[in-house]
Amino acid sequence: MVDVLHGVDEDVPFDHAMCEDLIGFCNTTASSIERQVDPRAGAVTTGSKDFRGHFSEVFRSNAGVAKADAGELALRLRELARFAGDLKASAEAEQKRRVTARNWTKEQHDDQSVVGWVESWFSSEDDARPPVGPPDPPPSKAPQAAVTGTRQTPQPAAGGGSSSGTSSARPAKLREFARLNTGLNGELSAKPAALRAKLADFAAKCRWGTLTVPPW
């Protein structure tokens, strides 16, 4: 028989503020990635000006892969936030169950008077039972790994030959693309390390259920 009062004297080991911080970070980072879609598309348009030949095809293909990868990453970040929220809700429910059981136990121990004993004698059997059931199993969540595409990195000599023709572009436009892209990358450059730190804090401070994050 399950002892529904087992462990109720202890609070659920879950730092709700830490969890909220992780959820907020994941959602805001996903939004930051999504907000870069249009600026990155504009940078590609700039770099593609008068870009012809094999390397122009590689350039546009890689840009398409990068856009899809960004969408996939934003999706997985939001999934991670949602799963962290599921663990938080479960921890809150378990904490409420423990507090209810804890208060009931205290009332039982405090009721040691003769009047209380008489009242308990005439009360039904159900009145002496704890007002809670056993705990639900702590949830286990595992976001899917982000599936990224493959980008082409051809050697410069691959641009020639009869099958691909000669590649040409405006160097100034490609430099502008690189400048714009570097700036956008810089806005996100600190995010991976910050996410790893927050996940480590979550694992240490939110110990109700498990959140297994695959390498991205």
pLDDT of residue 82: 98
Report the pLDDT value the prediction gives residue 107, as an integer from 0 to 100. Answer: 84
Q: Alpha-carbon distance 145 to 177, whole Å?
A: 30
Residue 157: pLDDT above 90?
no
pLDDT band at 112 (very low <50, low <70, confident <90, very high): low
Arithmetic mean of pLDDT, 123-137:
78
At residue 169, the pLDDT reads 80
Helix axes 171-188, 37-47, angle to 10 degrees: 160
Interatomic CA distance for residues 105 and 64, integer angstroms: 62
- Distance between CA 19 and CA 141 in Å, rounded? 14
pLDDT higher than threshold 60 for residue 160: no
pLDDT at residue 92 tops 70? yes
List, for residues 56-74, the tens digit of each pLDDT value: 999 999 999 999 999 999 9
pLDDT digits (tens, 9 = 90+) for 1-45: 578 898 999 999 999 999 999 999 999 999 999 999 999 999 999
**Following DSSP, what letter does each residue of 147-216 receive, concatenated?**
---------GGGG-STTT---B--HHHHHHHHHHHHHHHHHHTTHHHHHHHHHHHHHHHB-SSEE-----
Q: Which two tokens stand for residue 38?
A: 């249009």
Please state the rounded mean pLDDT for residues 81-110. 94
The chain-wide mean pLDDT, for the chain, equals: 88
Question: Whole-model pTM?
Answer: 0.84
Give the pLDDT mean for 90-115. 85
Q: Note the pLDDT of residue 124.
A: 54
What are the structure tokens assigned to 113, written together?
């008077």
pLDDT cut 90: percent of the chain above it: 71
Instruction: Tokens for 185, please give them.
Output: 């990358």
Q: What does the pLDDT read at residue 122?
A: 54
Q: Record the tokens describing residue 15, joined without a space.
A: 């730092």
> Per mean pLDDT, which range of 73-82, 142-151, 174-183 is the poorest?
142-151
